Amino acid sequence: MQDFAAQLIKVFPAAANGGNPAPIVLEAEGMSDAAMRAVAAQYGHESGFVFAPSPASGADFKMRYFVPLHEMEMCGHATVGALWLLRQSGRWTTPAATVETASGLVRGFVRHAGTPDEYVEITQPAGKLQTVNDAKQLAEIADVLRVRADELLPLPVLNAATSRVKTLIGLSSVTALDTLQPDFARVQALCEALGSTGLYPFAVDPQKPRSFHARQFPKSSGYPEDAATGIAAAALLFGLRAHGLVPADHELTTIHQGRAMGAPSEIRARFDLDAAGQVIGCFIGGAVTYCGG
């Protein structure tokens, strides 16, 4: 039987103990769905698997993603991490690559190549936003997160998506965010009612411009919280624009995540603009470190 070796990396670390762990299998041809799900269950994290692309896709690589309980259409940090590993192994040597995923084609880029600031970023399409107006659902969100009314920002709660829907809830302070103790037993049912794959409360960093803190409580991944969630950060970028908290320009916005878990992470996000200055999508990226097999 072929041995499908996983390499464990941490994506988006902001400190030695930070980042979101991601097991990556660079040579996944022949792996069954059950085998990929078993890798995710063994490590307890979102896992990425690299295949040869479908001939019709025109892509350089194909990637699939699993959590312990199911397959995901897209995983931002696993894509960034897999591309970083492909570069480290010499399988990706060009400035850009195209990745085939179940949610569509994703472009990857190396930024500041050959310098200490080198990092990988990937594209996401323009975000889609929908306001959560149902009073009962809004009350349940506050109840599940166990937040008081004065701990909420006076902003609409948004369902936002570039690849998967995340529910964005603005909190009044980073302290309120860090001290959240959600009722985890009710998160899945609430997310299903909202049509969301995770609750993503956030707060404005009062010390730094274009800096925000967030936490991700996934619907049904098999663990209660993520240390860094690229797809949620991409959705948040569009929510921040809708709230008037960031302008639609080329500058980086930083999303900090994982601090409450003791795994501080940092995701870099910026808008993708066309020649006329119109937003057509975004980029998300950041650092990657190698942890071993």
Region of 90 (left: φ > 0; alpha: ψ -120 to 50; beta: rest) is left
The sign one gets for the Cα dihedral 38, 44, 46, 47 is negative
pLDDT single digits (tens) 93-125: 999 999 999 999 999 999 998 888 999 999 999
pLDDT single digits (tens) 144-171: 999 999 999 999 999 999 999 999 999 9
Helix, strand, coil percentages in the chain from 3-state DSSP, rounded to 5: 25, 35, 40
Instruction: Please give the CATH architecture assigned to the domain spanning 128-284.
Output: Roll (3.10)
pLDDT single digits (tens) 34-71: 999 999 999 988 999 999 999 999 999 999 999 988 89
Instruction: Report yes or no: 93 and 61 within 8 Å, Cβ to Cβ.
Output: no
> In which band, very low, low, confident or very high, does the pLDDT at 293 lie, cut at 50, 70 and 90?
low
Amino acid identity of 95?
A: P
Region of 85 (left: φ > 0; alpha: ψ -120 to 50; beta: rest) is alpha
Instruction: Please give the CATH architecture assigned to the domain spanning 7-110.
Output: Roll (3.10)
Instruction: Report yes or no: 205 and 212 within 8 Å, Cβ to Cβ.
Output: yes
7-110 and 128-284 have identical folds:
yes
pTM over 0.75, yes/no: yes
Question: What are the extents of the domains in the chain?
Answer: 7-110, 128-284
Q: Which of 244, 242, 240 is nearest to 213 (CA)?
A: 240
